Amino acid sequence: MLTSLCNNFDCSPFFQTIEMCGRFACALDPATICRACQYTAPDGQLYQPIWRENNSAHSYRASANVAPINYSPVLVSAQHFDVGTDPATTSGRILDHPEVKVSTVENQRIVMPMRFGLIPSWHKGGENELRIATINCRVEGIMQKNAFAGALKRRRRCVVLAEGFYEWEKLQSNVKQPYLLYLTDMPQKYFEQKAKREDSEPPYGNREVLPEQLMKLAAIFDVWHNAENNTIYSFSIVTCEPSKATVWIHDRMPAVLRTEEEVNRWLDSAHLSSEEALKLCIHAVDDLHWHPVTRAMGNATYKGADASVPISPTEAGNAGKPLDPGQPKIVAFFSKTRKTKQEVVKQEDSAPLRVIGGGEASLDKEASTLPPGQSSITAFFPSDHGNSSQPPAKRTRKE
């Protein structure tokens, strides 16, 4: 499920290529994010996490097209920080809701920007010189991966906050159509009302998101110090087998924490080991909707507000070869073949993480060296392009 990257970086060869769950949307301002992360503590009181700026040279920039090496907000327990000496984690004000309290140190949660793409604490070299893919970590075998071992041993678990994540469907002539997948609690009109293309400077207006609408993705984070001794916080999104609702577009999906109880358990590093948290919290979810979006967002540097705005099924299906004369567009749109899941898995296992200038990236590439080759995503899009959670019947294109 994640192209030349990103705005202000001279990317290394590793970052010139990527694929699988590697893009998501988070175009919300800090105050809105904190309100949507309110939670009930063990004392029965409603609390709101505190926003903490990253102490590195990088800060959060709201974006409908978050790509690897961008900084985006994550929810994390204050147990990982020295809250007694760090005023950034112990001070703050509650916004708009006087009934919401600042939590105690024991129960406190923090929202802070972290770098997308985990840098292991043992890494030697520059920030963009890591030669392994760490934007995602597969739940299967995650405990045996050296890149993630340190973070898991220290129980460094966090929650990535997003409006939705992107996946790509392969159309005819190797053209790939991006789709935004989001929770069923989020109405499609929310994205239809996004700012127009010319309103490109985030944040994109005062948009409100309810706690049940904000997508929460299970992730792990690590802490790394560069040559200048700056502290870099970075994360990797946990992925699992797809649900029945999403297998049509990819054979992996990010692990969505669907309930408050799952979020509580995932963040509870004081009482749950990483092994226990993985068993209790990581699973596929079915209650997702999706819609096609502009292919312009396939370029990781594209930060237009319309990246998550729905486009028509006709526009989404007009890619690749010109339509046959006289063939209705709607017929051509549904005339696509689909590889089996076994074929996709076999192809993925032999391919590196790859992202090319105007290409796409996708959310599941665990730590591995980068052999030659390139994988692809094949899928079949359901007949209901708006809000659907049922995959379509398989159709076959005439050769």
Residues serving a catalytic function are 21, 167
CA gap 10, 7 in Å, rounded: 9
Q: What residue type is assigned to position 187 of the chain?
A: P
Residue 177 near residue 290 (C-beta atoms within 8 A):
no
The label of the residue with tokens 């969505």 reads: 256
What is the helix (H) or strand (E) element at residue 240, kind and residue range? strand 231-240
What is the helix (H) or strand (E) element at residue 167, kind and residue range? strand 164-170
203 prior amide bond cis, ω within 30: yes
Spatial neighbors of 259 by CB under 8 A, at least 6 apart, are none
CA gap 133, 115 in Å, rounded: 14
The SS3 of residue 161 is strand
CA-to-CA separations, 369 to 69, 139, 353, in angstroms, rounded: 18, 18, 9
Tokens, residue 169: 């469907």
- Tell me the H-state helices in 71-201: 87-90, 146-153, 189-192
**Cα first-last separation, the chain:** 29
68 prior amide bond cis, ω within 30: no
